[in-house]
Amino acid sequence: MAELIGEIEWYRGDSYPLEITIKNAKTKAVIDITGYSFILTVDSLKDPPDDSTKIFDVAGVLPAPTTGVVTFTPPSVDTNFAAGNYYYDIQMTTLGGDIRTIAKFKWKQTQDISK
């Protein structure tokens, strides 16, 4: 459903945009996501029972919705957590209110050198 989905390696404290393109899984055609909303959530558990282990979440921004592009830019304060293996998912909410998890993979938090 989305391009650039898989394990993400992120350096502690970084705050650059993560861009994905939403495509039809069968045809690979770009989906017009005008009016949709997206949220990326990082958690310490693969299958958390609630949000008590959530590290952070960030809403998606649609710079070019007709091209299927959504970006997530977590602030550095949110990504300033210990190095290790975590998990993320991305949920999409359509204009009709349908919610779909379009990605669920590992988030590898890497220690940086600059402080």
pLDDT digits (tens, 9 = 90+) for 18-47: 999 999 888 999 999 999 999 999 999 999
- The answer to whether residue 39 sits within a structural domain is yes
Q: What are the strands of the beta sheet with 99-110, ordered from one edge?
A: 8-11, 99-110, 84-93, 37-43, 54-59
Q: pLDDT band at residue 100, thresholds of 50, 70 and 90?
A: very high
> Within 13 Å, how many C-alpha atoms sit on residue 78's CB side?
16
In angstroms, the CA 3 to CA 27 distance is 13
Burial level of 88, CB count in 10 A (0-12/13-18/19+)?
A: buried
pLDDT in tens, 48-77: 999 999 999 999 999 999 999 999 999 999
- The answer to whether residue 48 sits within a structural domain is yes
In angstroms, the CA 30 to CA 1 distance is 9
- The answer to whether residue 35 sits within a structural domain is yes
In angstroms, the CA 2 to CA 28 distance is 9
In angstroms, the CA 74 to CA 55 distance is 11
CATH code at 41? 2.60.40.10
- The answer to whether residue 115 sits within a structural domain is no
